[in-house]
Chains A and B, each alone.
Chain A
Amino acid sequence: MATNLRRFKRFGSIFINNSTPLRGLSSSSAVLGSVDGQVQQPASGTAKSINLYTAINQALQIALDSDPRSYIFGEDVGFGGVFRCTTGLAEQFGKHRVFNTPLCEQGIVGFGIGLAAMGNRAIAEIQFADYIFPAFDQIVNEAAKFRYRSGNEFNCGGLTIRTPYGAVGHGGHYHSQSPEAFFCHVPGIKVVIPRSPKEAKGLLLASIREPNPVVFFEPKWLYRLAVEEVPEGDYMLPLSEAEVMREGSDITLVGWGAQLAIMEQACIDAEKEGISCELIDLKTLIPWDKETVEASVRKTGRLLISHEAPVTGGFGAEISASIVERCFLRLEAPVARVCGLDTPFPLVFEPFYMPNKNKILDAIRDTVNY
């Protein structure tokens, strides 16, 4: 496996430096009405303005093209998938490499683990993150522990499970959930969530080529909404490296995925009130980049975490605990969490449930004026 993976290095041409001030959310802010970001061009190749699902599509196309032993499968992916992420791939690479499965999530992931264990890149799609639970056993008990319990003799590192997560404004109970925290409790897998088209393409390619199984959550709200300049070529963004999207001195905000667009708006509003916010995109939830967050909190002395999943037992709790452990004496206020409520994801009450800009802004004020 390790030898195989070395082969991929030649494909991973462009690693974007973590310290580069990437304005990945420029796209989302365009959606939200303010265009203040500049897209940092990667070192080579041309870039085109595309949306998030097209960026995913490009990444998958490159993954299939650059490794003949990569496969994409899932419900309806042969026809392009419900979110059009796999459009054209079956035509281009053949139905033996891009194929539909029956509606059987547990089977899809289990199959993917076996395929990956034979040294292949198995890219499985679970149509909605809400449907991932039948496959939970396979992910937790089979995929995550395969390497460990075989004493490194076997692994399913080639497995990447792509799944759209999060609210869309009207998805209701079973098309809106954010189940990332369940998977963050499982050593052995990685959990990655991109925030924008450019990030999605780079992180997905890195996840596919990563020698560990990855659950890759795609913010479905942004599939069409988020548009930004995305390099056309093959590039990867490093996993487990957070990015400071916006520098500030009064409070650190940590988030991931679609929530960052909301948080950035709150930062802009807070700025008008004279509060300088530092915004961090965690990108990889496990193993997460504690150092970047810690360094930021040491500077600002305050921390706010925001995610769509219910607050209790959410990944925000883990970040909060870790940061309190690491910089207790530097904290000037309790860590704030602005998250989904402790209810099932509601249908008509979605606006109340969501951790929106005003809730974040209130929490920023409370924390800064503690």
Chain B
Amino acid sequence: MALARRSSNLLKPLSTASSSSFLNRRPFSTDDSTTITIETSVPFTGHNCEPPSRSIDTTPKELMTFFTDMALMRRMEIAADSLYKSKLIRGFCHLYDGQEAVSIGMEAAITKKDCIITAYRDHCIFLGRGGTLLESFAELMGRQAGCSRGKGGSMHFYKKDACFFGGHGIVGAQVPLGCGLAFAQKYRKEDHVTFTMYGDGAANQGQLFEALNMAALWDLPAILVCENNHYGMGTAEWRAAKSPAYYKRGDYVPGLKVDGMDAFAVKQACKFAKEHALKNGPIILEMDTYRYHGHSMSDPGSTYRTRDEISGVRQERDPIERIRKLILAHDIATEKELKDIEKLARKEVDEAIAKAKESPMPDDSELFTNVYRKGYGVESFGADRKEVRATLP
């Protein structure tokens, strides 16, 4: 029973009897609630703020959750890759593998009342917010069971009940929106904050600085999370940014540089940032992370960086491997048990894909819905204004 709790929320929707029995059989050498103190991989670097401590407390339960969730995310993205290649996913598709620790660490520090808004690399953020694999794959394949009812696709995942304001298609455009969310939270005197995520490429968009100024001017509880994966599409950060120290680019806005490949560092930073934002207003978190895939599925990801660089990061900084080592070092689970969790993730993903494939495409009439709100009597026209004509429902 205790072990059933251990299985992460990500697995819930699809966990089957067989999988929970598998988890129940798993013996743990350490008690769930034992406190383990670990140190983040590298110290935080602060800009206009005193960085938080490197040491952080965790539990075996949390370690296992991190591992399970990240393994699932990784598997989902690998599966999305092959679905895209077999043309079951159309549109543009940006994968998150390599960056999982950012989502996982952030979620561990905040609640579902805190808002998250991000750009188009959004599958795993959605999963982290409690979205299901079925909703993800169905959306990716444009099916009714998708989180946006099949109308959004890869770049447009949303989850209102978990305050996930979604995937946005234009580089940097979501950052001012995040300020609006934060203003609403502050106005309603809620103790919640908004995490506005953007990449190192978007960090050079003018909108970001407009948003920063507004956030700082009005002391908004906005946390700007720069996921620095070091490449804005095919351009290395140093080719595009005079100062790639993105955590410092807020000038008057404090910043913190975080190892985004270390889920615990991310967790610590997000906790720190939330407290800071509620008290003092905006802060920038620069997550030093890495994407294994290319920018999108049309980018092989190997023309502007070396294969050695990618495999080097995989070997030395991989977020899942880091947790795996911690689990093994603290003797929380065996190598085989971890392998089994990964196998289970694969199974969950395969089942979700099979289920998603059964979900029908949206009804044809959906083409005309949601352009405007219901009941405004707006007509939508077909090609010649005669043959195809529908009053919007």
Residues of A within 8 A of B (CB): 75-76, 78-79, 82, 100-104, 106-107, 127, 130-131, 133-134, 169-175, 311-312, 336-339, 341-344, 346-349, 352-353, 355, 359, 362-363, 366
A174 to B90, CA, bound (A): 13
B324 at the interface (CB under 8 A from A): no
| B interface residues, how many (CB within 8 angstroms) | 50
Inter-chain contacts of A349 with B (CB < 8 A): 362, 364, 366-367
Beta-carbon nearest neighbor of B92 in chain A: A175
Q: With A79-B234, A343-B371 as known contacts, state yes or no: A103 contacts B172, CB within 8 Å.
A: yes
In terms of DSSP, what is the predominant structure of the interface of chain B? Answer: loop
Beta-carbon nearest neighbor of A99 in chain B: B239
Q: Is the CB of A102 within 8 A of B383?
A: no
Q: Is the CB of A362 within 8 A of B384?
A: yes
Inter-chain contacts of B239 with A (CB < 8 A): 100
Q: Is the CB of A102 within 8 A of B240?
A: yes
Inter-chain contacts of A341 with B (CB < 8 A): 367-368, 380-383, 388
A362 to B383, CA, bound (A): 10
Q: Is the CB of A347 within 8 A of B240?
A: no
Q: With A102-B201, A339-B383, A341-B380 as known contacts, state yes or no: A348 contacts B142, CB within 8 Å.
A: yes
Inter-chain contacts of B204 with A (CB < 8 A): 102-104, 107
A311 to B361, CA, bound (A): 25
Among B63-71, B146-154, B313-321, the stretch that binds chain A is B146-154
Nearest Cβ on chain B to A280's Cβ, whole angstroms? 19
Residues of B within 8 A of A (CB): 90-92, 120, 142, 150-156, 169-173, 201-202, 204-207, 232-235, 239-241, 298-299, 303-304, 361-362, 364, 366-368, 371, 380-388
Q: What would 21 A/B residue contacts be, using CB atoms closer than 8 Å?
A: A76-B233, A100-B239, A103-B201, A103-B202, A103-B205, A103-B233, A130-B169, A131-B171, A169-B90, A173-B156, A312-B381, A341-B367, A342-B380, A342-B381, A347-B90, A347-B150, A348-B153, A349-B367, A359-B387, A362-B384, A363-B384
Nearest Cβ on chain B to A356's Cβ, whole angstroms? 9
Inter-chain contacts of A337 with B (CB < 8 A): 383-385
Nearest Cβ on chain A to B162's Cβ, whole angstroms? 23
Beta-carbon nearest neighbor of A312 in chain B: B381
Beta-carbon nearest neighbor of B362 in chain A: A348
Further contacts, 17 of them, CB under 8 A, given A103-B204, A342-B371: A78-B235, A79-B235, A102-B240, A103-B171, A134-B170, A169-B90, A174-B170, A337-B383, A341-B367, A341-B388, A342-B381, A346-B367, A347-B91, A349-B362, A362-B384, A362-B387, A363-B383
Q: Is the CB of A134 within 8 A of B205?
A: yes
Nearest Cβ on chain A to B89's Cβ, whole angstroms? 9
Inter-chain contacts of B240 with A (CB < 8 A): 100-103
Q: Is the CB of A134 within 8 A of B207?
A: yes
Nearest Cβ on chain A to B171's Cβ, whole angstroms? 5
Nearest Cβ on chain A to B201's Cβ, whole angstroms? 4
A50 to B38, CA, bound (A): 60
Partner of B234, one of A76, A172, A339, A362: A76
A27 to B299, CA, bound (A): 27
Inter-chain contacts of B90 with A (CB < 8 A): 169-170, 172, 347-348
Nearest Cβ on chain A to B212's Cβ, whole angstroms? 15
Q: Is the CB of A172 within 8 A of B384?
A: no
Nearest Cβ on chain A to B285's Cβ, whole angstroms? 20
A106 to B239, CA, bound (A): 18
Q: Is the CB of A359 within 8 A of B384?
A: yes
A168 to B304, CA, bound (A): 25
Beta-carbon nearest neighbor of B241 in chain A: A102
Nearest Cβ on chain B to A99's Cβ, whole angstroms? 9
A225 to B304, CA, bound (A): 26
Beta-carbon nearest neighbor of B380 in chain A: A342
Beta-carbon nearest neighbor of A106 in chain B: B206
Nearest Cβ on chain A to B318's Cβ, whole angstroms? 27
A175 to B153, CA, bound (A): 12
Nearest Cβ on chain A to B96's Cβ, whole angstroms? 18
Beta-carbon nearest neighbor of B205 in chain A: A104
Beta-carbon nearest neighbor of B148 in chain A: A347
Q: Is the CB of A346 within 8 A of B205?
A: no
Q: Is the CB of B151 within 8 A of A79?
A: no
A301 to B239, CA, bound (A): 57
Beta-carbon nearest neighbor of B151 in chain A: A347
Inter-chain contacts of B366 with A (CB < 8 A): 349
What 4 pairs across the A-B complex have the smallest Cβ distances? A172-B91, A170-B90, A102-B204, A174-B169
